[in-house]
Amino acid sequence: MHPLVQHNLTRLRDECSGPQEFRRLMGEVAALMLYEATHSFAVKPVSVRTPLERTRGCQLQREVVLVPVLRAGLGMLDSILQLIPHARVGFIGLKREETTLRAMFYHKSLPLNLSRYEVILIDPMLATGGSAVAAMDLLSERDARRVRLVNLVAAPEGIRHVHSHYPDLPIFTAAIDRRLNERGYILPGLGDAGDRLFGV
């Protein structure tokens, strides 16, 4: 793990980090994670004229759609957009029901026909994996073919659940933690990411 990711993730876990610092740290880790997650994006050759001469260069082969899962995914969006400013942005609103831990949709807003895009699904927490599977079900319905999940903290149970439904989905995470507790929170985790981001 990159030392800067380790350093910022540790500060992110710290219960003493308030919303302002938590937001900043989440953005910084997200940007570092994005570098790895986009490593295999396809590029195509292009020609470019510098002030001195013509040379060969590359450009991304496909357009990019960022899809943060509300709310906590919003904490990673701004810093990722800074790195891919031309990306489109879709939103998936999901809320885990507190007792059943089932993820329920409350918002869906995605570009049409996702088949031609590189899609980056953004959610800092992967606990039971229910939200990620629900988000993937929706992206698959909309014909997404190249999806990566960028995550910060994952539970082994969640990774297993997601890969049992979507074995080919690449998951980029900063940490695989120990396990879930009886309320579906990741241990040691960082608590409720949405609540800490927005100070509620």
Say which residue the tokens 């007792």 belong to: 99
Cα–Cα distances (Å) from 167 to 23, 114, 122, 145, 159, in that order, read 31, 20, 18, 13, 10
Structure token pair of residue 135: 């988000």
Structure token pair of residue 86: 């031309």
**Using the rule CB under 6 A, is 17 a contact of ligand PRP?**
no
Tell me the β-bridge partners of 80: none
Of 9, 125, 133, 171, the one binding ligand URA (CB under 6 A) is 125
In the list ligand URA, ligand PRP, none, the entry touching 123 (Cβ below 5 to 8 angstroms by class) is ligand PRP
Span interacting with ligand PRP, options 23-31, 48-56, 77-85, 127-135, rule CB under 6 A: 127-135
In the list ligand PRP, ligand URA, none, the entry touching 28 (Cβ below 5 to 8 angstroms by class) is none
In the list ligand URA, ligand PRP, none, the entry touching 126 (Cβ below 5 to 8 angstroms by class) is ligand PRP
Of 101, 105, 156, 169, the one binding ligand PRP (CB under 6 A) is 101
Torsion of CA 182, 130, 156, 83, to 10 degrees: -130
**Using the rule CB under 6 A, is 130 a contact of ligand PRP?**
yes
Asked if residue 42 lies in contact with residue 61, where contact means CB atoms within 8 angstroms, the answer is yes
Torsion of CA 118, 123, 126, 131, to 10 degrees: -80
Of 27, 90, 129, 189, the one binding ligand PRP (CB under 6 A) is 129
Structure token pair of residue 192: 């409720």
Which spans of this chain sit near ligand PRP (rule: CB under 6 A)? 69-72, 94-96, 101, 103, 123, 125-132, 158, 184, 192-194
Which spans of this chain sit near ligand URA (rule: CB under 6 A)? 72, 125, 127, 184-186, 189, 192-194
